[in-house]
Structure 1
Amino acid sequence: MYGNSSCGRAQESTTTSSSTSNRPPPLPRCFPRLHVPHDGRCRLYGPPPHLTLHRHLSTPSRLHSWDFAACSVLLLICPLNVFYRPTRYCFLTVIRNIVCSPFYKVLMVDFFMADQLTSQIPLLRHMESAACYFLAGSFKTHRYETCKSGKQYRELAYVISFAPYYWRAMQCARRWFDECNIDHLANLGKYVSAMVAAGARLTYARQPSQLWLVIVLVTSFVATVYQLYWDFVKDWGVLNRKSKNAWLRDDLVLKNKGIYYGSIALNFVLRVAWVETVMKFNIGMVESRLLDFFLASLEVIRRGHWNYYRLENEHLNNVGKFRAVKTVPLPFHETNSGR
């Protein structure tokens, strides 16, 4: 019996040594490992924390992003005559005129740029988050409560959401003061309604309730109808029943009228895209943040689409105060030639 057992142990030792010699070398510690415990459930374990790529690259990559933003600002205000200084300074002048709207005479470039800012509110909100991320030191501490639920951060969201509409409203007030045209006061009301709707949406996001949902739907509906009317009738000059081009305007640049009708429908659809941000429809497996990014991109596309017809209408109806004539008088005196 003992002989058989010793022979068995010798055979087992030989088998173990041969299997060990044929076993592949162990993976380095930085590779994930598959662990099968006694319960039969497979678990995949990653590398140790001190060997992860995130630990080594997180802080430098974030610092590089901060350096890039700082260099962009310094380049924008650089006084040297490099990198298109006239264009950069013209842009800064327009931004100054927008921020200080009531104190500067409003030109077309000023209110046209301010209109673009009203479509960039999601971008401004993300810039707020990025600034808070760096200034609060979240990239070092990995504590993100300050930039998500902090009181000052949430209150600043109202300021950023209101600012573009407020600047545009102040431009309308200044134009009414200079020109005494009642249309500018009506346009001011449009931006006030947009501010009320934006404030209601932010409050509903913080305090979701049935009452605030009703307030959001009512204020957003009023603001949307106001904006659609101004887009089509005032800015684009279409929906004219007496026009020789049905429901458009008399003068058109594009020969295909179907493009105008399609543009009207597209602008209408993109104007009411806010319904999804309030109702939060379940669209398959699409993540909410990805859907918000998609809707923000659509608003930028809508604004670019709006720009073409706005400039077309301005061009065809002549700029300034000479909208009733086809030629703009020049500041020159006619003189007879030598004849």
Structure 2
Amino acid sequence: MKFGKEFTSQMVPEWQEAYMNYNYLKAVLKDVLNLRKRMQTVSPKASTPRGSALKRGVSLYRAFSGLTSRQRKNPNSPLARGDDEEVVLFNSVRESGSPSGARHQTMFLKSAEEGGECELVFFKRLDDEFNKVVGFYRKKVQEVVEEADELTRQMNALIALRVKVDNPNVRSQAGASEPRLAPLEILDHVKINVAADTPVSTLKGILMISDSDLSFSKAELRKAEERMTRAFAVFYRKLRLLKSYCFLNQLAFSKIMKKYDKITSRSASKSYLKMVDGSYLGSSDEVNGLIERVEATFIKHFANGNRRKGMKILRPTTKREKHRITFLLGSFFGCWLALIAAIIVVIHARDILNSPGRYQYMDNVVIIITFLPFNIIYRWSRFFLIRCAFHCICAPLYKVTLPDFFLADQLTSQVQSFREISFYICYYGWGDFRKRLNKCDQSTVHEYFFFTVAIIPFWFRSLQCLRRLIEERDPKHGYNSLRYLSTIVALTMRTIYERKEGVNWKIWAAITLGVATVMNTYWDIVEDWGLLQRNSKNPWLRDKLAIPNRGVYFVAMVLNVILRLGWMQTVLGFRETPFLHRTAIVAIFVSLEIIRRGIWNFFRLENEHLNNVGKYRAFKSVPLPFQHDDDQRI
């Protein structure tokens, strides 16, 4: 594998923009190479003699250095002279207010030579990349040093809590010769935050009821140790990635300079790499020191001195992929295709669409399609889904995370499925399903349930937006909440029209649906996808795109608008055709909504990822167990 591809594969995705742009510098060197080739073609000295059938490269005319290092070197060759022929000089310029400190500048001494302007451009671009890398690395090192100080304070509180819980009769002794606080006195200045995020804790926070005082119980100690274990593991992984970032960029500068020397037949790499080694990128040892101290601390305090056990937690091994998942997925997909084919054959063979009982039969076939996709095999996936669904139901009493609001958005596209579930309960609970007879449409309870079940997912999502508005103080979440409320109004008007009909209800349904459609379409494209940016590098898209073909984004936007209009079909009067039953038409538009939601999922997650990349967020924030009195965090 070439170094460029290997370099890209080992990058931290969220830090990709902060790495040295190796491919760009390679392209600049390619321009240098092309210019030198053109100069050799034009120059009589470099031209090939007439009649020569072979076009030899420039390297074939260099002096042969021998097969071993004992061969005598030509003292006049550029490689033998080493630093005698200076190619570059280095200078550092301090910039006021710059977080990266001094800015490095390279002075190219051969710019007056023919073609030297192109090499001068290369060194300017190289300086830009070097200063970018050093600035980012310095900033991240400062962050981990501050985080290490906080973990030190947390460890002091944890050790004091251990002493207090395991030895409740111990008293701290602070004499005149030791003015700083003894370990146990730290507990007088901290509060513990180990309670899980639950509806009860949220209600206590709203009512200003605090239960964060230490009770010195073993349960508190166990929860505090669990949080500290996780915090150390995440912090250690951050340090390792930062060390890898430093090493990969140093290697990239070494590779690009050696490539420069090979193209230009100069010897600038030695002095340049010496400068890199002496810079903050090459000489800073804070990360290595922190890695050693974190390992020693974790092994001592969380693994009882067992290095193998401690390192297993700090460096978890990658789980082996199991091929049975792929096998079962393929098997189920094949069974699904066979089932669909069998249904089509049965419908055609029995001419069910033209039979008197075709309405009842179509209702039963919706049953099969709805319940078939459920996954009941993998425990972790099922429990994760149940937990996220419970968080949606209890909104806004839980802190809203990406899986929670992402699932709530999926539920808003399953309105028809929820309505069908109410019909199944009525059909099999109170109807005569053996004769395919039911009176669900005449049931008041079913009618009310049919009316309210459609707005529940949008209500959950609106409450989640209100929770985020309160926590993050971002007005955008307030506007998003109003958007879901407008959708609730639109669904209510459409449901009333479906039940009562009439021109007035049709007008109100059309107006509310039109407003909700415009608001939702704008939010999908601009806010959720981050597109339609007027001043973007990519016209009417966004600066960063994961897909090289920009036309895909325009196609997705057009499809989103078209598919958004699909849910207005009941108001516009497209209800039943001679060859399709109304239930089949509803199923078609529900399928189109699923397709639209699938497209939305892809671009929504892409935008979320790019936002994390733009802010260099490679790690989740880990809650710490102790809060000191002088902390200003909420």
Name the TM-score, length of structure 2 as normaliser: 0.38
Q: Does 1:94 align with 2:388?
A: yes
- Amino acid aligned to 1:128: S
Q: Does 1:326 align with 2:605?
A: no
Q: Give the match for residue 526 of structure 2.
A: 233
Alignment root-mean-square deviation, CA: 2.6
Going from structure 1 to structure 2, the CA distance change for 1:260 and 1:330 (only over 3 Å counts) comes to: closer
Deviation at 1:138, TM superposition (A): 2.8
- Whichever of the two has the greater Rg, that structure is 2
Deviation at 1:143, TM superposition (A): 4.2
Once the two structures are superposed, the pairs formed by residues 61-72 of structure 1 within 5 Å of their partners are none
In the aligned structure 2, how far is the partner of 1:237 from the partner of 1:227?
14
Q: Is the 8 A contact 2:408 2:460 kept in 1?
A: yes
Residue identity over aligned pairs, in percent, reads 36
Once the two structures are superposed, the pairs formed by residues 303-318 of structure 1 within 5 Å of their partners are 303-318=597-612
Q: Give the match for residue 538 of structure 2.
A: 245
In the aligned structure 2, how far is the partner of 1:96 from the partner of 1:221?
32
Q: Give the match for residue 159 of structure 1.
A: 452
Q: Give the match for residue 112 of structure 1.
A: 406
- Amino acid aligned to 1:87: S
Q: Give the match for residue 424 of structure 2.
A: 130
In the aligned structure 1, how far is the partner of 2:620 from the partner of 2:452?
44
Per-residue deviation, residues 170-210 of structure 1 (Å, max 9, x unmatched): 11111111111111110001110100000001100111111
Per-residue deviation, residues 87-125 of structure 1 (Å, max 9, x unmatched): 221111111001111111111000001100000111111
Comparing 185-194 with 273-282, greater Cα deviation is found at 273-282
In the aligned structure 2, how far is the partner of 1:232 from the partner of 1:184?
16
Deviation at 1:275, TM superposition (A): 2.6
Q: Give the match for residue 265 of structure 1.
A: 558
Q: Give the match for residue 202 of structure 1.
A: 495
Deviation at 1:141, TM superposition (A): 7.1
In the aligned structure 2, how far is the partner of 1:214 from the partner of 1:330?
48
Aligned length: 255
In the aligned structure 2, how far is the partner of 1:279 from the partner of 1:190?
22
Larger RCO (alpha carbons 8 Å, 6+ apart)? 2
Deviation at 1:149, TM superposition (A): 2.1
Q: Give the match for residue 220 of structure 1.
A: 513
Comparing 173-182 with 83-92, greater Cα deviation is found at 83-92
Q: Give the match for residue 279 of structure 1.
A: 572
Unaligned runs of 5+ in 2: 1-356, 623-634
Q: Give the match for residue 254 of structure 1.
A: 547
- Amino acid aligned to 1:292: V
- Amino acid aligned to 1:164: P
In the aligned structure 1, how far is the partner of 2:620 from the partner of 2:566?
45
Name the TM-score, length of structure 1 as normaliser: 0.70
Per-residue deviation, residues 29-77 of structure 1 (Å, max 9, x unmatched): xxxxxxxxxxxxxxxxxxxxxxxxx9xxx9xxx9xx99xx8xx99x96x
Deviation at 1:276, TM superposition (A): 1.6
Deviation at 1:130, TM superposition (A): 0.6
Determine helix, strand or coil for the equivalent of 1:242. coil
Q: Give the match for residue 30 of structure 1.
A: none
Going from structure 1 to structure 2, the CA distance change for 1:199 and 1:329 (only over 3 Å counts) comes to: closer
Per-residue deviation, residues 275-317 of structure 1 (Å, max 9, x unmatched): 3221223656332221111000000010011000000000001
Unaligned runs of 5+ in 1: 1-53, 77-82, 333-339
Determine helix, strand or coil for the equivalent of 2:433. helix
- Amino acid aligned to 1:121: V
In the aligned structure 2, how far is the partner of 1:206 from the partner of 1:329?
51
Q: Give the match for residue 472 of structure 2.
A: 179
